[in-house]
Amino acid sequence: MVSQFVSKSIGNPRVFREGLGHLKQKDPLLASLIERHGVIPFKPEGEMFESLVESILTQQLAWPAASAIIERVKALYSGGVIEAAALYATPSGKLRKAGVSPQKIRYLKDFSRRVYKGKLDLEALKEKEDGVLLEALDEVLGIGPWTIHMLMIFTLGRPDVLPVDDLGIRKAVQKVYSLPEIPGKVEIEQFAKNWHPYCSIASLYLWRHKDTDKEVKLNIQARKKA
């Protein structure tokens, strides 16, 4: 039997189209973003354990530095695959040589221990509703709501995730809805009343709009300097 969370994944083109139709009907400003950017290609990627390990490794680092550390950590394991048992058994010194900070080593050891010892069943969590998944992962050191929201959208394809703490989302909402200040959680949740049950798709378009707007500004600045 197919899990409801698999069948409702926004990696399913039918579900994604349904979400676009809902958002266009419920929110005229989002409808204009959808018309402007078209259908965003989207495919959930990765496994839960590795995705969360990589999220921990990237915390507070620019992507080039984080990417280099991820590759060095992967090189410690056969086939470049990071598994809970192997990570838990890896001496901290090896992880330090790969560029992982002591604090992040503590996070990785806590996470891998929970999975290896069976205290955290990631496969079972795939079948659970969003709130249960969020609560279970939030207990792990170094894994907070933002990291879990990114996992739910980009790895699991959950359709109704609202990353209210993401600065990119907040700035995009400010611009799209012409707000005098960057909105907080309560304000964003008010707008999102029209987005449910497809907040993840709304988030993808807000991120795309913010990134595109940034690119346009950079191009304008470059032309002015030319």
Looking at the structure, do residues 88 and 126 belong to the same domain, yes or no?
yes
Looking at the structure, do residues 62 and 134 belong to the same domain, yes or no?
yes
Q: What is the CATH number of the domain that holds 180?
A: 1.10.1670.40
Q: What is the CATH number of the domain that holds 148?
A: 1.10.340.30
The span from the CA of 92 to the CA of 90, in Å, is 6
DSSP result, 156-186: T--SS---TT-HHHHHHHHHHTT-SS---HH
Q: Taking the model in full, what pTM does it have?
A: 0.87
**pLDDT by 10s per residue, the chain, length 226:** 344 555 589 999 999 999 999 999 999 999 999 999 999 999 999 999 999 999 999 988 888 999 999 999 999 999 999 999 999 999 999 999 999 999 999 999 999 999 999 999 999 999 999 999 999 999 999 999 999 999 999 999 999 999 998 999 999 999 999 999 999 999 999 999 999 999 999 999 999 998 875 543 333 233 323 3
Q: Among 111, 126, 154, which residue terminates a domain?
A: 154
Range of the domain at 184: 4-43+161-225
Identify the pLDDT of residue 4.
Answer: 55
Identify the pLDDT of residue 7.
Answer: 59
Looking at the structure, do residues 150 and 201 belong to the same domain, yes or no?
no
Q: Among 154, 180, 199, which residue terminates a domain?
A: 154
Identify the pLDDT of residue 213.
Answer: 56
Looking at the structure, do residues 149 and 165 belong to the same domain, yes or no?
no
Q: How many domains does the chain have?
A: 2
Looking at the structure, do residues 73 and 142 belong to the same domain, yes or no?
yes
132 contact partners, CB below 8 Å, separation of at least 6: 125
Q: Among 109, 124, 154, which residue terminates a domain?
A: 154
